[in-house]
Each structure stands twice: as structure tokens, then as C-alpha cells.
Amino acid sequence: MKFKLFLFFSILLTVSCAQTPSSKPITSVTQEELSEITLLDVRTPEEYSQGHIENAVNVNWFDEDFDKQVEKIDKDETIYVYCKVGGRSAKAQQRLFSLGYKNVINLEGGYDAYKQN
């Protein structure tokens, strides 16, 4: 009986810990994926104006009202977030999780890696 109980809790723990990946290389994102998600660019408006991924929504990570600006995005949507190289987007991803967003993917390498691809 103890073994069955142990097995049950082991399976439960494994299933409950399984999540969608929280990051992926920006160079592996397909155009089909981009049409199905919300793409969030957390760079400054100046960086964004110098080039960005098509259909990306720009919300500056450094803005004091970052939290308020992202409220426009549905918390159940899949959000891919990127910045210049990955640092700000990782922080923004954690902030979004803390605000109740459920599926936020950090795009590793950022816009610099995207341009080189």
C-alpha cells in the first residue's frame, strides 16, 4: 500500500511540475507561431523605432507604469517577450508571472539574435 501511495504522489508531483517551456531561442520562432501569440517588445521606444519584429507591441520595461500598460493584454494569452539581448525580457517575464499571466515565453538572444538570423 505504501508503494502505491508513493507512486501516486510521485506521478502527481511530476505532472504538476510539468509546464510549457519558459524560454526558447528567438531564432527558432516561426511566422506561424507569431500569428498565434502576443509578441511583446520591452525595449525603449527609440530601440523599437530602429527596428522590431512585425506586429510586436512595444511596452518599455523602464516605464514606471509598465504594469499598467501590460494590463491591456489578456492574462490567458500566450505572450512571447523579447528585448535587445534577453536581460530585460527575462525580468519582464518574471514580472508578468507575478501579475498573474500564465504563459509567458522569454525569447533568448533578443532582437540582436533575430536580426542576425
Indicate which residues carry an active-site annotation. Answer: 83
Express the helix, strand and coil content of the chain in percent, nearest 5 each.
45, 15, 40
3-state DSSP assignment of residue 26: helix
CA nearest neighbour of 43 among 115, 111, 114: 111
Asked whether 95 and 66 are in contact (CB, 8 A), the reply is: yes
Give, in order, the Cα–Cα distances in Å from 39 to each of 2, 17, 81, 88: 48, 26, 6, 15
